[in-house]
Amino acid sequence: MPQLSNIRHETFARAVAEGKSQTKSYIYAGYSENGARANAARLIANDSIRQRILELSNEIRIENETDQKNAVVGIFNDLEEIIISASSIGKYDAVYRAIALKAKIKGLV
| pLDDT, mean of residues 50-75 | 95
CB 44, CB 24: distance < 8 Å: no
Report pLDDT for 29: 97
Query: What pTM value is reported for the model?
Result: 0.69
Report pLDDT for 109: 82
CA dist., res. 85 & res. 55, Å (int) = 45
Q: pLDDT by residue (tens digit) across 82-106?
A: 999 999 999 999 999 999 999 999 8
Burial 54-86 (b: 16+ CB within 10 A, else e): eebbeeeeeeeeeeeeeeeeeeeeebeebbeeb
Average pLDDT for the chain? 95
How large a percentage of the chain has pLDDT more than 70? Answer: 100
| pLDDT, mean of residues 56-65 | 95
**Higher model confidence: residue 21 or residue 106?**
21
